[in-house]
Amino acid sequence: MSGLEKIPVKRETSIDLFKGLLVIGMVYCHSLQFFSDQQIYPAGQRWIDVINLLTFSGFVFSFGYVSQLAYYGKSFRQAAPRMLLTGIKMLIAFWLSGAAYRLLIDGRPLGWEGIKPILLVQEMPGWSEFLISFAYLTFMGLVLFAPLKWAVRRKSAGFLIALLLLGTTFIPYGAIHAVKLGPLLGTRDFASFPVVPYFPYYLIGMLFAKYRTGWDWRVLAGAAAASGLFAWRWLGAEDGLLPERFPPSVWWILGPAVLLYGYYLLARLLERFSDGLLARSPYPVRLFRPLEAMGSNVLWFLLMSNLLIFAIAASQRTYGFMIPPGTAFGVTLILLAIIGYSLWIMRPGRPAGKRDRSDRSGSR
């Protein structure tokens, strides 16, 4: 279930590496939130804040990037079935994660009355909101297929539209109470990742893919200015709190720009370094293959990490342990290794294991 990035064309390793870095950050953030105590270990809260700032915007950017490569270079008739299937996979992931949260964390039975509100998006289970937002993002990209292709073909218009979309952060969030509208527009009733305010990153991701953007001082200047406005707002706040995240303020949307551009350039650098080593090595093994695997199977890693974390957290209530940030990172790596192994054993064409000795003729 890798719907977030299933591409029917040659993959770009750098964007997989970029997404892999985001996966590590998101799973680490969830590990800190569930298994650590930020009052006892305040350093954990600083990691959570940075990861929260980067992660969803980064995934929206990468989703726009891979969608441009996979879908928007094709006709609507060719792209629509794949986009629809991707959106359905994400919706199923939301249902599974939401049901697991209700059962393992809330301790609610999973009868029809418990599952129905999740299936109909009448309730928003914790730590599953981002999955329904990805589904909305896919369907929105499908509905706006033609306008988005038009905008990306006109680079200046595309960046201008992305800039104008920042105005959607001034939506009167307090007037939105329908649960189904929260992941689209935003609300103050529950935590949500509304795709309309975050949509500038989707469009910018499309533009980066279309024009193969790499190092560009103009991009760096624009990203630094955006993050500078975030820092100005944050440092100037009387309460010292970060700009509003749920629902996102314009400052929150602008905040991660320069760090994400740094992530993007780092991923391209890692790709070149890996390719250089591969060219000189007699062994056809990519140095950052585990990171690539996370990036090329984002949905599987995010869903399975949620299920594992919920299950561990349910037992944590019994045993009552709390761990420091360093140990939480170790837990993160273990979880990612388990999920990676689950992918390996399911991959098509994997050589079958050795037959059991008892299957051989003339068994003892």
The encoded tokens of residue 84 equal 């629809």
Residue 360 lies in a domain: no
Q: In the prediction, which pLDDT does 359 show? A: 41
The encoded tokens of residue 213 equal 């953007």
The encoded tokens of residue 158 equal 């595309």
Q: Hey, how many other C-beta atoms are within 10 angstroms of the C-beta on 123?
A: 14
Q: What are φ and ψ of residue 122, in 5° steps?
A: -100, -15
| Segment 200-210, tens digit of pLDDT | 999 999 999 99
Output Rg (C-alpha) for the chain, integer angstroms.
21
Q: Find out whether 41 and 26 touch, Cβ atoms under 8 Å.
A: no
Q: Hey, how many other C-beta atoms are within 10 angstroms of the C-beta on 81?
A: 9
Helix/strand/coil for 357:
helix
Residue 359 lies in a domain: no
The string of DSSP letters for 196-258 reads: HHHHHHHHHHHHHHHTT--S-HHHHHHHHHHHHHHHHHHHT-TT-PPPPTTTTPHHHHHTTHH
For the chain, the distance separating the N- and C-terminal CA atoms, rounded to the nearest angstrom, is 42
The encoded tokens of residue 211 equal 């024009």
Please enumerate in sequence order all residues whose Cβ is within 8 A of that of 122, keeping only pairs 6 or more positions apart, or say none: 116, 179, 180
Tokens 């359905």, located at residue: 88
Residue 361 lies in a domain: no
Measured in whole angstroms, the distance separating CA 294 from the mean position of its chain's CA atoms is: 11
Q: How far apart are CA 286 and CA 348, in angstroms?
A: 20
The pTM score is: 0.91
Residue 315 lies in a domain: yes
The string of DSSP letters for 41-94 reads: -HHHHHHHHHHHHHHHHHHHHHHHHHHIIIIITS-HHHHHHHHHHHHHHHHHHH
Please enumerate in sequence order all residues whose Cβ is within 8 A of that of 127, keeping only pairs 6 or more positions apart, or say none: 30, 33, 97, 101, 306, 309, 310
Q: How far apart are CA 35 and CA 325, in angstroms?
A: 9
Number of domains in the chain: 1
Residue 326 lies in a domain: yes
Q: In the prediction, which pLDDT does 346 show? A: 81
Q: How far apart are CA 169 and CA 171, in angstroms?
A: 5
Q: In the prediction, which pLDDT does 194 show? A: 98
Residue 185 lies in a domain: yes
Residue 39 lies in a domain: yes
Q: Find out whether 38 and 78 touch, Cβ atoms under 8 Å.
A: no
Please enumerate in sequence order all residues whose Cβ is within 8 A of that of 217, keeping only pairs 6 or more positions apart, or say none: none
Q: Find out whether 294 and 19 touch, Cβ atoms under 8 Å.
A: yes
Q: Find out whether 323 and 34 touch, Cβ atoms under 8 Å.
A: no
Q: How far apart are CA 177 and CA 100, in angstroms?
A: 25
Residue 66 lies in a domain: yes
pLDDT along the chain (364 residues), means of 10: 44 91 97 92 95 98 97 96 97 97 91 93 95 97 97 96 97 96 97 97 98 95 98 93 96 98 96 76 73 95 97 77 91 96 78 43 37
| Domain membership of residue 187 as a residue range | 3-350
Q: In the prediction, which pLDDT does 322 show? A: 84
Q: Is-cis flag, bond preceding 247, omega within 30?
A: yes
